[in-house]
């Protein structure tokens, strides 16, 4: 007789068991402590100026002079209430909202249409047109500010919000097209063919199928366009002359010049000016990451 050795039950169970959650956890690599340190350092460097500006608005000028990095003692809300009761602040906030919303709508609407044509149709110079939009990412607004000002002046749009909105739409289209084209290319041809069999026109397919399926990308480019428009400083600086048409970024600069001796009030005005964009980005940051991830996969 030949002796047989029984395999231990625990060993057999481990061999026969399919890889599960425990195995995947065991296979995960723990992050390098140095990586976490660098990430935390980057977060601290990014958040510290924002906290300093917000907290500085609750201090007096005497407190800032005595201890620039100290905490408010006592906390003073007069700086913020003074800004919030100012007609100038609310006027600049309204101008920024009009410019940001109008620019975002123009960028999204035109960007979706252009991206749909580039992604779903074959025609001559299609690649050249897409490359032209891609090249637009390499040319910032500052480079073209002088000829752009001449064009806006010839159109009679100097010192008007329209003179800011139209160029922002033009310079926001390259980013929108580059992000949306992969989304629209990823839509299966079978869906378009099935819609055509059902009698749906190309325009109907665009509104009923393309826009809902590419909604993550549309939301992403809309958020990016809104934030970029809200924070734009160079274009309003060249185009807008009267204070009644100032946007908030330009208003912050003028306010800091006018109240250069009142540091605490300047910090309060600055923190309130950046608050809408900061809150908007914090709410929709997951949408941005998801939309950009989908664009890369597409």
**48-83 per-position pLDDT tens digit:** 888 999 998 999 888 888 888 888 888 989 999 999
pLDDT of 6: 46
Q: Which residue did the predictor score with more confidence, 290 or 252?
A: 252
Asked whether residue 31 is domain-assigned, the answer is no
- Domain range for 203: 94-246+278-297
The predicted model scores a pTM of 0.78
pLDDT at 267: 92
Residue range 233-241: mean pLDDT, rounded = 92
Instruction: Tell me the CATH number at 231.
Output: 1.10.3720.10
d(C-alpha 166, C-alpha 163), whole Å: 6
pLDDT attached to residue 274: 87
26 confidence band (pLDDT: 50, 70, 90): very low
Residue 187 is classified by DSSP as S
pLDDT at 293: 56
Q: Does 24 map to a domain?
A: no
- Given this model, what pLDDT does residue 288 score? 63
Rounded to an integer, what distance in angstroms lies between the CA atom of residue 211 and that of residue 203?
11
CB 119 within 8 A of CB 185: yes
Given a cut of 80, whether residue 296 has pLDDT beyond it is no
Structure token digits, residue 139 = 């040319």
pLDDT at 243 over 70: yes
215 within some domain: yes
174 near 134, Cβ under 8 Å?
yes
Tell me whether residue 115 is in a domain.
yes
Does the residue 22 lie in any domain?
A: no
Q: How far apart are CA 206 and CA 212, in angstroms?
A: 9
Model pLDDT for residues 76-92, shown as the tens digit of each residue: 899 999 999 989 999 99
- What is the mean pLDDT of the segment spanning 112-116? 90
Mean pLDDT (whole number) for 128-152: 88
Question: Which pLDDT does position 14 carry in this prediction?
Answer: 45
* Residue indicated by tokens 């002359």: 241
Q: What is the mean pLDDT of residues 165-177?
A: 93
Mean pLDDT across 12-33 = 53
CB neighbours (10 Å) of residue 206?
Answer: 17
Structure tokens at 15: 């061999």
* DSSP per-residue string spanning 71-94: PPSS---HHHHHHHT-HHHHHHHH
pLDDT beyond 60 at 16: no
In this structure, what token pair is assigned to residue 285? 């940051």
Mean pLDDT value across residues 132-152: 87
Q: Is the pLDDT of residue 170 over 50?
A: yes
CB 149 within 8 A of CB 186: no
| Assigned domain for 158 exists | yes
Q: What is the total count of domains within the chain?
A: 1
Average of per-residue pLDDT values in the chain: 83
CA gap 179, 221 in Å, rounded: 7
- Count the Cβ atoms, other than its own, within 10 Å of residue 246: 22
Question: What confidence score (pLDDT) does residue 8 get?
Answer: 47
Burial 21-40 (b: 16+ CB within 10 A, else e): eeeeeeeeeeeeeeeeeeee
Cβ-based neighbour number of residue 195 at 10 Å: 18
Answer yes or no: is 53 within a domain.
Answer: no
Is 266 exposed, middle or buried, given 0-12, 13-18 or 19+ CB atoms closer than 10 A? buried
Residue 247, pLDDT > 90, answer yes
Within 10 angstroms of residue 13's Cβ, the number of other Cβ atoms is: 10
Percent of the chain whose pLDDT exceeds 70: 85
Q: Is 50 a domain residue?
A: no
Which residue did the predictor score with more confidence, 138 or 151?
151
């Amino acid at each position: 007789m030949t002796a047989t050795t029984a395999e231990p039950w625990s060993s057999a169970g481990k061999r026969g068991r399919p890889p599960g959650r425990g195995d995947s956890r065991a296979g995960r690599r723990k992050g390098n402590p140095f990586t976490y340190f660098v990430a935390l350092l980057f977060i601290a460097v990014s958040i510290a100026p924002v906290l300093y500006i917000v907290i500085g608005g609750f201090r007096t000028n005497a407190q800032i002079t005595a201890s620039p990095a100290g905490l408010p003692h006592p906390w003073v809300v007069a700086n913020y209430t003074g800004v919030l009761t100012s007609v100038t602040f609310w006027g600049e906030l309204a101008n920024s909202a009009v410019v940001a919303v109008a620019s975002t709508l123009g960028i999204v609407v035109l960007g979706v249409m252009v991206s749909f044509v580039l992604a779903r149709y074959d025609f001559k110079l299609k690649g050249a047109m897409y490359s032209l939009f891609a090249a637009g990412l390499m040319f910032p607004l500052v480079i073209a500010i002088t000829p752009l000002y001449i064009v806006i002046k010839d159109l009679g749009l100097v010192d008007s919000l329209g003179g800011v909105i139209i160029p922002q739409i033009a310079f926001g289209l390259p980013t929108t097209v580059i992000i949306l084209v992969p989304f629209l290319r990823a839509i299966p041809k079978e869906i378009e063919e099935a819609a055509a069999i059902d009698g749906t026109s190309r325009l109907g397919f665009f509104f009923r199928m393309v826009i809902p399926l590419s909604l993550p990308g549309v939301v992403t480019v809309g958020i990016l366009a809104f934030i970029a428009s809200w924070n734009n400083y160079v274009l309003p600086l060249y185009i807008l002359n009267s204070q009644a048409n100032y946007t908030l970024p330009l208003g912050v600069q003028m306010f800091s010049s006018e109240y250069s001796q009142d540091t605490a009030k300047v910090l309060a005005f600055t923190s309130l000016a950046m608050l809408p964009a900061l809150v908007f980005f914090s709410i929709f940051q997951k949408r941005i990451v998801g939309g950009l991830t989908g664009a890369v996969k597409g």
